[in-house]
Amino acid sequence: MKDAAQAGRPRPPLLLNNIGTLLTLQGGRDPRRGRELGNLNVIANAAVLCRDGKIATAGPEREVLKHAKELGADPEIESFDCKRGTVMPGFVDSHTHPVFAAPRLLDFEKRIQGASYQQIAETGGGIRSSVESVRSASEVDLAQGVLAAFRHMQSSGTTTAEAKSGYGLTTEAELKSLRAIRQAAGEWPGTVVSTLLGAHVVPPEFAEKPHEYVKLVCEQMIPRVASDKLADFVDVFCERGAFTLPQTELIFDAAREHGLGVRAHVCQFSPQELSRLKRFSPASFDHLDCLSDQDLKSLAQQDTVATLLPGASYFLAHSYPPARRLIEAGAAVALATDYNPGTSPTTSMPMILSMACTQMKMTPAESISAATINGAHALRLGGSKGSIEAGKDADLALFAVSDYRELCYWFGGNSCSAVVLNGILMKN
Amino acid sequence: MKDAAQAGRPRPPLLLNNIGTLLTLQGGRDPRRGRELGNLNVIANAAVLCRDGKIATAGPEREVLKHAKELGADPEIESFDCKRGTVMPGFVDSHTHPVFAAPRLLDFEKRIQGASYQQIAETGGGIRSSVESVRSASEVDLAQGVLAAFRHMQSSGTTTAEAKSGYGLTTEAELKSLRAIRQAAGEWPGTVVSTLLGAHVVPPEFAEKPHEYVKLVCEQMIPRVASDKLADFVDVFCERGAFTLPQTELIFDAAREHGLGVRAHVCQFSPQELSRLKRFSPASFDHLDCLSDQDLKSLAQQDTVATLLPGASYFLAHSYPPARRLIEAGAAVALATDYNPGTSPTTSMPMILSMACTQMKMTPAESISAATINGAHALRLGGSKGSIEAGKDADLALFAVSDYRELCYWFGGNSCSAVVLNGILMKN
């Protein structure tokens, strides 16, 4: 339900009051590297005042109400009673693949019968099986699916989402996918960061000449995407059966040349020598299930965020990424859904938090910071997203729980009752 | 939202039409032992007619509409458009512990720090930590919590729930818990089966004299529960640190003497010699994570249903029960949530189906039958619940998916859009 203000009238200030527990995630050590996990900055009996899409004040209710009064006692101020629930920054889901046409039910059944990810890919399933339907789909239909995904994400507390192309694998189909993301983003009040993932897998028609496909990505896709301003980042699936490390370097070089940021899928099924990519300062390395000790050390010293995707580990029944080792080594850890039709069909960040706690032994406080402020850093949005601080974007999520740990404890359900996206209140 | 008919007027027949996919689960081998898993009986373009709380007809839409007309063209017939979604029998959640006063967040955090179930129990956490708050809670407050749980279950497609006491552990507190279940059941249109679990754990005041507690269960709790008709079954947590096999036999003897059915928590953390309990014909053995080969064989030849609870395996990050071995040996397998505050804080049967498929390698068809018709058999309700057949109770669930496999494939969300409970339509 959108608030009346969206109908065209200037939006009145929004006051969230009667908050039982407020997690601001304010404070921390290094604005570029992401926060030390676990500093939630918990305030009881709180309120948040939003104005012009930004946080005006957040803190103890008495102080915020005083500030609201000082603002000039705007008669139009909109109040929302949070009924003693828990308010925190909206989730930043920093890794999703929402541009697809159909669920991959055949892969799902094959896996139950014992086929591995690699076996499914080798027999025509996997990423390639999503390609045909995306190539033939209309941009409008794809946009509709992406918008539905954003709305599902929002229903469980996500206010910022990264969205990748990657099931088109021709210049036209990748551009169409990115335009579908742009179209859906225009209809959703949340924030969307777009990523070109032309290098998701080598398409069948280039099976015998992968270097030509890499050339296509570098010389056609990246320049077009940059000139049309269709993406903020370029991503590469750097893995056995997808793209090699030298190919990844070529693609990153082209991205840098065209002013685009870079990020990569790495170490999902096999270790890679990540230090070779250090010179590109990737915003994030994602997956990291098979991280070597050497890369672990190197990652802990980099600005690059380590984005963990337990949804895929769960769905594939693989081992989970080494969250504790990363945290203890000092790496900046983020959590995301990896929403995609092959290996992680979920849009729920609370489900990801449950997995982080139960399977990866992250504490509730660590997992909440990984899913908010560190997700923001993984998208280079640490200055405007991921914490509740005056001047930052008004992106909030309200949960009907009295203790923040319950966000991670209950699983399979949804306690999110409202979100604020860039100052716009949407109730569930 | 309840339909208008609940306001007192006689309820009109209910027609669910425009069903894209109907799973009736009709047919199978042995009405007592549960169905061979996986026979969903899928019908495209279907409808279901309900009358007086029962299924009148279900099948191809044309036939059902013809039958509806023959009924006398009742002008009051209520139609509900299923919008091409999937309709199946409502889930039968045959193992839940909904009578508690608070989530166990301390246990949750201790486990993240590395403590085992047994270590948490030994240091005052675990089941015992729920006891104090249940003993001091009012019956009304407990009933409110139970009713909230039933409504959460319903929101994801459950129409029949088993509910156990077991956090009171005095005669009065166990009776209070069962009365709370009865009170909540009276306010919920679904079906509830009550179970006395006085033998959940030995309470602290009997720590040095467990045999006296067993005597209390046998000589006070069971007779009182039977005479007040407060439960259908007696359950025992037969496990290291809880109750021994000989104690379980004593309790089962008392239950049988008072005309109550029996079921047991077995082999969750250690194997037990289940054949010793065969003579009691338990309705179900639940958990079975540590099942020996010998017990597996014995179970395959019994009427006793094997109820698997992957939610607890997930939450404790233990290994999952051996579903494939049980199915291949010919055992009747059911799936349930094990909803409880210590080891499985979920009310979502779709989440359990996801785990059954991804972690235990059950097929979608197997897991759907385990969660419906075999759950009904685990409660000895196979004659009235768990499949869509003329004369059975009108318990249905509608999901906004076009392929039934999607019920198991998407996870962490909820695609249930309506349920019918004993003929009463409730929309989500």
Residues A253-282 have pLDDT tens digits of 999 999 999 999 999 999 888 999 999 999
Give the type of residue at B409: Y
Q: Chain A residue with minimal CA distance to B359? A: A317
Give the type of residue at A344: S
Q: Chain B residue with minimal CA distance to A360? A: B112
Q: Does B348 lie at the interface with A, CB-CB under 8 angstroms?
A: yes
CB pair distance less than 8 Å for A412 and B412:
yes
* Same domain (yes/no): A201, A109: yes
Tokens of B282: 């338990």
Can you tell me the distance from the alpha carbon of B57 to that of B70, in angstroms, rounded to the nearest whole number? 12
* Same domain (yes/no): B399, B351: no
CATH code for the domain in which residue A417 is found: 2.30.40.10
Q: Which among A271, A311, A327, A246 is positioned nearest to A36, based on CA atoms? A: A327
Can you tell me the distance from the alpha carbon of A125 to that of A117, in angstroms, rounded to the nearest whole number? 9
* φ, ψ at A218 (rounded to 5°): -75, -40
Tokens of A316: 């594939």
Can you tell me the distance from the alpha carbon of A217 to that of A215, in angstroms, rounded to the nearest whole number? 5
CB pair distance less than 8 Å for A156 and B413:
yes
Give the single-character DSSP code of B300. Answer: H
Tokens of A332: 């900046």
Give the single-character DSSP code of A277. Answer: G
Can you tell me the distance from the alpha carbon of A257 to that of A275, in angstroms, rounded to the nearest whole number? 20
Percent of chain A surpassing pLDDT 70: 94
Phi-psi category of residue B170: left, alpha or beta, with phi > 0 → left and psi -120 to 50 → alpha: beta
Can you tell me the distance from the alpha carbon of B201 to that of B272, in angstroms, rounded to the nearest whole number? 17
Is the CB of residue A157 less than 8 Å from the CB of residue A426?
A: no
* Same domain (yes/no): B38, B122: no
Give the single-character DSSP code of A99. Answer: -
Is it the case that residue A60 has pLDDT exceeding 70?
yes
Residue where the block lists tokens 């948490």: B120
Tokens of A206: 């280039």
Tokens of A392: 């930052």
CB pair distance less than 8 Å for B361 and A152:
no
Mean per-residue pLDDT of chain A: 93
CB pair distance less than 8 Å for B358 and A103:
no
pLDDT in the model for residue A72: 67
Is the CB of residue B264 less than 8 Å from the CB of residue B282?
A: yes
* Same domain (yes/no): B401, B359: no
Phi-psi category of residue B298: left, alpha or beta, with phi > 0 → left and psi -120 to 50 → alpha: alpha
Q: Does A328 lie at the interface with B, CB-CB under 8 angstroms?
A: no
Query: Residue B172 CB: number of other CB atoms within 10 A?
Result: 12
Q: Does B114 lie at the interface with A, CB-CB under 8 angstroms?
A: yes
- Strand B261-266 to B284-287 pairing: parallel
Can you tell me the distance from the alpha carbon of B174 to that of B166, in angstroms, rounded to the nearest whole number? 7
Q: Does B359 lie at the interface with A, CB-CB under 8 angstroms?
A: yes
Q: Which among A335, A362, A356, A376 is positioned nearest to A26, based on CA atoms? A: A376
Contacts of A109 (CB under 8 A, 6+ apart): B363, B364, B405
pLDDT in the model for residue A301: 84
* Same domain (yes/no): A187, A274: yes
| Beta-ladder partners of B416 | B399
Percent of chain A surpassing pLDDT 90: 85
Q: Which among A304, A307, A237 is positioned nearest to A272, based on CA atoms? A: A237
DSSP states along B34-81:
-PPTT---EEEEEEEEEETTEEEEEEEHHHHHHHHHHTT--TT-EEEE
Q: Does A108 lie at the interface with B, CB-CB under 8 angstroms?
A: yes
* Same domain (yes/no): A82, A124: no
Between A and B, how many residue pairs show a Cβ–Cβ distance under 8 A? 113
* Same domain (yes/no): A350, A400: no
Contact residues on chain B for A351, CB-CB shorter than 8 A? 411-412
Smallest Cβ distance to B412: which of A112, A316, A348? A348
Q: Does B417 lie at the interface with A, CB-CB under 8 angstroms?
A: no
- Domain residues for the domain of A137 are 91-378
Q: Does A45 lie at the interface with B, CB-CB under 8 angstroms?
A: no
pLDDT in the model for residue A34: 53
pLDDT digits (tens, 9 = 90+) for A105-156: 999 999 999 998 888 988 888 888 899 999 999 999 999 999 999 999 999 9
CB pair distance less than 8 Å for A156 and B364:
no
Q: H helices within B116-170, ranges in order?
A: 117-122, 127-136, 139-155
Q: Chain B residue with minimal CA distance to A156? A: B413
Q: Which among B383, B319, B328 is positioned nearest to B355, based on CA atoms? A: B319
CB pair distance less than 8 Å for A405 and B358:
no
Average pLDDT over residues A326-336: 94
Q: Does B110 lie at the interface with A, CB-CB under 8 angstroms?
A: no
Residue of B112, B343, B404 best to disrupt the A interface, most CBs of A under 10 A: B112
Angle between helices B349-358 and A105-112 (to 10 degrees): 60
Interface of B with A in 214-253 (CB under 8 A): none
Residue of A37, A91, A109, A112 best to disrupt the B interface, most CBs of B under 10 A: A112
Q: Chain B residue with minimal CA distance to A317? A: B359
Question: Where does residue A139 rank: exposed (0-12), middle (13-18), buried (19+ CB within 10 A)?
Answer: middle
Smallest Cβ distance to B358: which of A152, A314, A363? A314
Q: How far is B42 from chain A (nearest CA, A)?
A: 17
Contact residues on chain B for A345, CB-CB shorter than 8 A? 409-411
* Same domain (yes/no): B374, B421: no
Residue scoring higher pLDDT (A225 or B76): A225
Contact residues on chain B for A362, CB-CB shorter than 8 A? 112
Residue where the block lists tokens 């709370």: B180
Can you tell me the distance from the alpha carbon of A293 to that of A367, in angstroms, rounded to the nearest whole number? 23
pLDDT in the model for residue B6: 47
Residue-wise burial string across B2-41, b where 16 or more C-beta atoms lie within 10 A, e elsewhere: ebebeeeeebbbbbbbebbbbbbbbebeeeebbbbbbbbb
Tokens of A304: 């690059």
Is the CB of residue A399 less than 8 Å from the CB of residue A417?
A: yes
CATH code for the domain in which residue B249 is found: 3.20.20.140
Smallest Cβ distance to A409: which of B105, B351, B403? B105
Query: Residue B380 CB: number of other CB atoms within 10 A?
Result: 19
| Beta-ladder partners of B2 | B426
Query: Residue B114 CB: number of other CB atoms within 10 A?
Result: 8
pLDDT in tens, chain B (428 residues): 344 444 456 788 999 999 999 999 997 655 455 556 768 999 999 999 999 999 999 999 999 999 888 876 556 889 999 999 999 999 999 999 999 999 999 999 999 999 988 889 888 888 888 999 999 999 999 999 999 999 999 999 999 999 999 999 999 999 999 999 999 999 999 999 999 999 999 999 999 999 999 999 999 999 999 999 999 999 999 999 999 999 999 999 999 999 999 999 999 999 888 999 999 999 999 999 999 999 999 898 888 999 999 999 999 999 999 999 999 999 999 999 999 999 999 999 999 999 999 999 999 999 999 999 999 999 999 999 999 999 999 999 999 999 999 999 999 999 999 999 999 999 99
Confidence at A6, pLDDT banded by 50, 70, 90? very low
Whole-angstrom CA distances from A161 to A181, A409, B39, B168 are 11, 23, 40, 46
Interface of B with A in 378-407 (CB under 8 A): 403, 405-406
Mapped onto helix, strand or coil, the DSSP state of residue A77 is coil
HSE of B51, CA atoms in CB hemisphere, 13 A: 14
* Same domain (yes/no): B268, B142: yes
Among B362, B378, B394, which residue terminates a domain?
B378
3-state secondary structure A166-199: CCCCCHHHHHHHHHHHHHHHHHCCCEEEEEEEEE
Q: How far is B342 from chain A (nearest CA, A)?
A: 10
Q: Chain A residue with minimal CA distance to B316? A: A358
Is it the case that residue A3 has pLDDT exceeding 60?
no
pLDDT in the model for residue B203: 95
Q: Chain B residue with minimal CA distance to A416? A: B413
Residue-wise burial string across A230-248, b where 16 or more C-beta atoms lie within 10 A, e elsewhere: bbbbbbbbbbeebbbeebb
* Same domain (yes/no): A252, A278: yes
* Same domain (yes/no): B169, B122: yes
Smallest Cβ distance to B351: which of A358, A362, A412? A412
Contacts of B363 (CB under 8 A, 6+ apart): A109, A112, B38, B357
pLDDT in the model for residue B411: 98
DSSP states along A118-146:
HHHHHTT-THHHHHHHHHHS-HHHHHHHH
Smallest Cβ distance to B347: which of A108, A156, A413? A413
Q: How far is B363 from chain A (nearest CA, A)?
A: 7
Angle ∠(B427,B349,B143) on CA atoms, nearest 5: 70
Can you tell me the distance from the alpha carbon of A96 to that of A184, in angstroms, rounded to the nearest whole number? 14
Q: Does B362 lie at the interface with A, CB-CB under 8 angstroms?
A: yes
CB pair distance less than 8 Å for A108 and B405:
yes
Looking at the structure of chain B, the number of domains it has is 2
Contacts of A181 (CB under 8 A, 6+ apart): A98, A99, A143, A146, A163, A165, A192, A194
* Same domain (yes/no): A83, A97: no
Is the CB of residue B106 less than 8 Å from the CB of residue B322?
A: no
CB pair distance less than 8 Å for A411 and B346:
yes
Can you tell me the distance from the alpha carbon of A238 to that of A267, in angstroms, rounded to the nearest whole number? 8
* DSSP helix, strand, coil percent of chain B (3-state; round to 5): 40, 25, 40
